[in-house]
Amino acid sequence: MPAGRTPRLFLLSPSHAGGDRAALLLRPGSALPLARAVQSAGAPLGEVFEFTSGLYFRGKLAYAQAFARPPRGVPGALVITAGAGLVPPEARVTTAHLRAFAAVPIDPTDTRYRAPLERDVRALCEAAPRGEVVLLGSVASGKYVDVLLALLGERLLFPGDFVGRGDMSRGGLLLRCARAGVELDYVPVMGAVRHGARPPRLPPLPRRGAR
């Protein structure tokens, strides 16, 4: 990270590990290369969640990789998981991990979810005591915000352009910004307006390879 620039880390909300797309990765004898990897030595969490969530997670991961400015020794992006706290997108996950994720609800009243997340956020605060932590996920409900805000306070930010957008719109916006090298403006979660009118629909993304 260049000297003098404020460190910036990203926390990515997870993909649902119990849906139909995740089931494809768990199907015995699947011909999908990603499924074969998950069922053997494991595959990177980021790739798995890109498969299970599609555009939304792909946009979050591409954006975080484009704009993270972590201090030395700290991942620039960490994924919030169900029951395993904060996990780097490069970490390899297997069928056992996916089944464990699917068994734990993203519910701040459930200690199976909350306790590992609190543990890892505290460790993150010790490893990176200064700088910004940007949540790339929904701030309209408390399932992430309630836990993170209690530990990070004013350090916790989110893209103001997220207000009013659904998952696919947020994913498309992030992917466009990552490809264009244009970073969004962030606002503190604390005291922010977290609900708003739906903004205009984004134009379709150009297909890869199109001139």
Cα 203 to Cα 30, 62, 71, 168, distances in angstroms? 35, 19, 36, 12
Strand (E) or helix (H) holding 151: helix 142-152
pLDDT tier for residue 211 given thresholds of 50, 70 and 90: very low
Residue 150, amino acid = A
pLDDT tens-digit map of 15-49: 888 889 999 999 999 999 999 999 999 999 999 99
Question: Which domains, and CATH codes, for the chain?
Answer: 8-16+54-91+111-188 (3.40.50)
Span between the terminal Cα atoms of the chain, in Å: 34
pLDDT tens-digit map of 94-123: 999 999 999 999 999 999 999 999 999 999
> Does residue 91 surpass a pLDDT of 70?
yes
Share of the chain above pLDDT 70, in %: 89
Residue 167: name the closest of 88, 60, 92 by CA: 60
Share of the chain above pLDDT 90, in %: 75
Q: What is the pTM of this model?
A: 0.89
The rounded mean pLDDT for the chain is 90
pLDDT of residue 167: 86
Tell me the pairing of strands 132-136 and 156-159. Answer: parallel
Residue 31, amino acid = A
pLDDT of residue 207: 59
pLDDT tens-digit map of 144-182: 999 999 999 999 999 988 887 888 889 999 999 999 999
Please enumerate in sequence order all residues whose Cβ is within 8 A of that of 156, keeping only pairs 6 or more positions apart, or say none. Answer: 133, 135, 145, 148, 149, 188, 189, 190
